């Protein structure tokens, strides 16, 4: 496959070339190739048609305005409301009795089913109360709540008024919450009094009070507090707080507040990227193009139809929750599952199976770690075997690399395709995917994240800006203009937006991920570019080394990261978790893994630093904290984000690293919440 030069691109337009944007025409379904070509060559016509997936108060005057790149605008002059598209129109279509949200919480032993009519009733009351408190178009409101229906009710009530929400992940402590309050300057904060984790209650109300106390910005209105009485009983401070029910009671029931139309390029929400401990980086998403992209991707990637039950196993504090727990499924008219629990211990490893069977889930979106946890806790599926999986069509994974052994186990266990795809908080939905609705081959190449989604012209560039050859590792970039749904800018920081994402490769969005394309146009995301290890001038991906380690049948999880070495500059260090039934000594199993790496990767990897551990540090969204471990190994001070699942694992990480000659003088990591 040759590179897509101007001459080749011209022949593609004429239809005479053997490839379309680097994808051989005989390797993919013509239906997808035709759509893809149209989306890249004539984005105006392509996205104009899809704009009609939504209901508009006023039609757009211009589909695409790219006169001020990279600040691209879509559906210019069109007015709509997100709440109307997510709730009102389904009721007007006679579907108010359909279940919109299923909240299943083994942590509180409760299940709630909220219909579209009930959702409307609750949203209208809260929006009416917010209006009485002075919340109006363009105002910002911070939401600090766990994974409960009221979080979505709050989001929809805010956007019903044309205001802008900023949801803060409930795992963040006071300092992180404070930084976001200071940056977004909300009119008020909506919070729950408490969250719940296995074995503990998270005191949201106390954290909120601490955050506002230390904040330079004091919201002019009192905090609205939803009381979770079954979790914790709290006494409100009348000077600071007002009950959710009291605010709803302020609404005029005889004159429900109507949806405020806003222009398609006005803000829908501000979402701060995870793990931020210094200056906040707030992704600002506009309404029109984003909702179009979400409805379209739910259909063509995930194969979800109105009335289907869909489960995105994430949290409302992350982009997945915004896109595919709230706005995507609700705008489509599907049923969205909200699971407040763990894969393995609330109360057992059969919960994913139970949810699928009990609610007839058609599709799941999760991180590979969730399935690794189930596999480790119950490899024989003794808990899950009793449940029926017939409703399930596919499982979609993202957020971290998925090794072949885990993918094969999921497919064998759930008996559906396991489809990897790749996207970022900044993009709001997938960049590459294997799409159920685009007639893609459901057996893509091993480790691939799929084909470019319609609208995305994906390139692999070398450091000098020239295009890489097929299978040559480089930086993954996206040719401008970006399709609808991507972030519009960074809130209050257009300069950083331009510098961070567009300066290095002019004319492209820099994903800051490393990867390559194969000869058929499939994209392989190997790692964040800074996760590539440079061993004596040879660039090795951490994910490729981890894949090789996980081929050993006695290994269930692994993390590989680079550490300094005087001769080679860097060498890989491997920490792995054995299966619980493994009887081999650490020395024997480690020796077997080293031999395996030499056979698969070769001696070039210089793979000798290896030992076992019982746990690896991860965030609550399931991402392995490789950089934190690498910094710790180099004796650097490590500040862990408040989203870490269990900071105590670093005691064992220290012992393991010191056994290998690293972290000999490393200070104890500090969890961000302890800085309060």
CB 545, CB 601: distance < 8 Å = yes
Residue among 41, 2, 46 nearest 24 (CA)? 2
The residue with greater pLDDT, 646 or 435, is: 435
pTM of the model: 0.88
Q: To which residue do tokens 């050859």 refer? A: 469
pLDDT band for position 675 (cuts 50, 70, 90): very low
Does position 13 have pLDDT exceeding 80, yes or no?
A: no
Two tokens, residue 125:
């009351």
DSSP 608-623: -EEEE-S---BBTTS-
Q: How would you classify the pairing of strands 99-105 and 110-115?
A: antiparallel
Across 212-235, average pLDDT: 96
Burial class (CB in 10 A: 0-12, 13-18, 19+), 97: exposed
**pLDDT tens for residues 483-528?**
999 999 999 999 999 999 999 999 999 999 989 999 999 999 986 6
Distance (Å, whole) CA 31 – CA 27: 12
> Alpha helix (H) ranges present in 487-526?
494-502
Phi, psi of 20, deg, nearest 5: -120, 110
Q: How many CA atoms lie within 13 A of 667 on its CB side?
A: 8
The pLDDT assigned to 527 comes to 67
Alpha-carbon torsion 66, 64, 295, 440, what sign?
A: negative
Does position 186 have pLDDT exceeding 90, yes or no?
A: yes
DSSP 201-264: EE-HHHHHHHHHHH-S---SSPEEEE--TTT------TTTEEEHHHHHHTS-TTSPPPPPPEET
Two tokens, residue 340:
């407040």
Two tokens, residue 667:
């200070």
**pLDDT tens for residues 97-141?**
999 999 999 999 999 999 999 999 999 999 999 999 999 999 999
**Greatest distance between any 2 Cα atoms in the chain:** 77
What radius of gyration, in Å, describes the C-alpha atoms of the chain? 25
Q: Tell me the pLDDT of the chain averaged across its residues.
A: 92
pLDDT band for position 279 (cuts 50, 70, 90): low
Burial class (CB in 10 A: 0-12, 13-18, 19+), 9: middle
Q: How would you classify the pairing of strands 422-423 and 430-433?
A: antiparallel
Does position 605 have pLDDT exceeding 90, yes or no?
A: no
Q: To which residue do tokens 């963040």 refer? A: 172
pLDDT band for position 14 (cuts 50, 70, 90): very low
Across 210-232, average pLDDT: 97
Q: Which residues pair with 283 in a beta bridge?
A: 271, 490
Does position 643 have pLDDT exceeding 90, yes or no?
A: no
The pLDDT assigned to 633 comes to 97
The pLDDT assigned to 21 comes to 87
**pLDDT tens for residues 384-416?**
999 999 999 999 999 887 888 889 999 999 999
**pLDDT tens for residues 18-77?**
788 889 988 899 999 999 999 999 999 999 999 999 999 999 999 999 999 999 999 999
Percent of the chain with pLDDT over 90: 80
| Cα-based distances in Å from 128 to 137, 259, 576 | 13, 11, 54
Two tokens, residue 404:
């072949």
CB 276, CB 299: distance < 8 Å = no
**First-residue to last-residue Cα distance in the chain:** 56
CB 25, CB 8: distance < 8 Å = no
List domains and CATH numbers for the chain.
536-671 (3.30.300.30)
- What percentage of the chain's residues is helix, strand, coil (to nearest 5)? 35, 25, 40
**pLDDT tens for residues 322-368?**
999 999 999 999 999 999 999 999 999 999 999 999 999 999 999 88
Please state, as a whole number, how many other Cβ atoms lie within 10 Å of the Cβ of residue 344. 21
Across 156-167, average pLDDT: 98
Across 558-563, average pLDDT: 95
Residue among 10, 12, 29 nearest 451 (CA)? 29
The pLDDT assigned to 15 comes to 37
pLDDT band for position 17 (cuts 50, 70, 90): low
Does position 288 have pLDDT exceeding 60, yes or no?
A: yes
Residue among 646, 486, 442 nearest 64 (CA)? 486
Does position 278 have pLDDT exceeding 60, yes or no?
A: no
pLDDT band for position 9 (cuts 50, 70, 90): very low
The pLDDT assigned to 277 comes to 38
The pLDDT assigned to 530 comes to 55
**pLDDT tens for residues 444-476?**
999 899 999 999 999 999 999 999 999 998 999
Does position 11 have pLDDT exceeding 70, yes or no?
A: no
Does position 295 have pLDDT exceeding 70, yes or no?
A: yes
The pLDDT assigned to 404 comes to 86
CA geometry: angle 628, 630, 632, nearest 5 deg: 65
């Amino acid at each position: 496959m040759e590179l897509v030069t101007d001459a080749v691109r011209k022949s593609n337009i004429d239809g005479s070339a053997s490839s379309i944007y680097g994808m051989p025409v005989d390797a993919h379904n013509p239906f997808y190739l035709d759509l893809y070509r149209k989306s890249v060559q004539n984005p105006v016509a392509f996205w104009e048609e899809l704009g009609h997936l939504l209901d508009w108060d006023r039609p757009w005057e211009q589909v695409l305005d790219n006169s001020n790149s990279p600040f691209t605008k879509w559906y210019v002059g069109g007015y709509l409301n997100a709440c109307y598209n997510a709730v009102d129109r389904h009721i007007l279509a006679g579907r108010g009795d359909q279940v919109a949200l299923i909240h299943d919480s083994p942590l509180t032993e409760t299940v709630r089913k909220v219909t579209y009519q009930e959702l409307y009733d609750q949203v209208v009351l809260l929006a009416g109360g917010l209006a009485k408190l002075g919340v109006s178009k363009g105002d910002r409101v911070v939401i600090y709540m766990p994974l409960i229906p009221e979080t979505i009710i709050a989001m929809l009530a805010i956007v019903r008024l044309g205001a802008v929400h900023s949801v803060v992940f409930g795992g963040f402590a006071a300092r992180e919450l404070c930084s976001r309050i200071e940056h977004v300057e909300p009119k008020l904060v909506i919070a729950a009094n408490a969250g719940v984790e296995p074995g503990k209650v998270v005191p949201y109300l106390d954290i909120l009070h601490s955050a506002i106390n230390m904040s330079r910005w004091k919201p002019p209105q009192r905090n609205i507090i939803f009381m979770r009485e079954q979790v914790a009983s709290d006494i409100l401070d009348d000077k600071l707080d007002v009950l959710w029910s009291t605010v709803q009671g302020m609404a005029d029931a005889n004159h429900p507040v109507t949806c405020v139309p806003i222009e398609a390029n006005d803000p829908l929400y501000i979402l701060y990227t995870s793990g931020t401990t210094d200056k906040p980086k707030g992704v600002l998403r506009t309404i029109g193009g984003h909702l179009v992209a979400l409805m379209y991707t739910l259909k063509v990637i995930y194969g979800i139809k109105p009335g289907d039950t869909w489960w995105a196993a994430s949290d409302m504090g992350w982009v997945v929750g915004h896109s595919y727990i709230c706005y995507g499924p609700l705008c489509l008219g599907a049923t969205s599952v909200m699971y407040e629990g763990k894969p393995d211990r609330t109360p057992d490893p059969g919960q994913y199976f139970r949810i699928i069977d009990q609610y007839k889930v058609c599709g799941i979106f999760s991180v590979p770690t969730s399935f690794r946890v189930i596999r480790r806790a119950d490899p024989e599926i003794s808990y899950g075997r009793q449940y029926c999986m017939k409703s399930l069509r596919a499982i979609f994974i993202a957020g971290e690399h998925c090794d072949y052994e885990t993918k094969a186990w999921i497919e064998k266990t759930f008996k559906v395709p396991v489809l990897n795809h790749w996207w970022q908080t900044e993009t709001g939905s997938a960049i590459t995917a294997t799409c159920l609705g685009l007639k893609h081959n459901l057996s893509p190449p091993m480790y691939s994240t799929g084909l470019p989604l319609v609208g995305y012209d994906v390139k692999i560039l070398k450091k000098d800006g020239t295009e890489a050859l097929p299978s040559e590792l480089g930086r993954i970039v996206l040719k401008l203009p970006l399709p609808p749904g991507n972030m519009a800018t960074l809130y209050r920081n257009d300069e950083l937006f331009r510098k961070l994402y567009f300066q290095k490769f002019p004319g492209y969005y820099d994903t800051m991920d490393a990867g390559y394309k194969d000869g058929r146009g499939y994209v392989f995301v190997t790692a964040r570019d800074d996760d590539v290890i440079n061993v004596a001038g040879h660039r090795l991906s951490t994910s490729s080394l981890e894949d090789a380690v996980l081929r050993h049948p006695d290994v269930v999880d692994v993390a590989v990261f680079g550490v300094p070495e005087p001769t080679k500059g860097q060498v890989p260090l491997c920490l792995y978790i054995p299966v619980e039934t493994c009887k081999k000594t650490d020395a024997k199993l480690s020796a077997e893994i080293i031999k395996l790496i030499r056979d698969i990767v070769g001696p070039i990897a210089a793979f000798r630093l290896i030992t076992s551990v019982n746990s690896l540090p991860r965030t609550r969204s399931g991402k392995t904290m490789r950089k934190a471990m690498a910094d710790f190994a180099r004796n650097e001070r490590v500040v862990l984000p408040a989203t870490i699942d269990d900071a105590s694992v670093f005691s064992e990480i220290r012992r393991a690293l010191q056994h290998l000659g690293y972290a000999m003088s490393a200070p104890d990591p500090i969890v961000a919440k302890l800085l309060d």
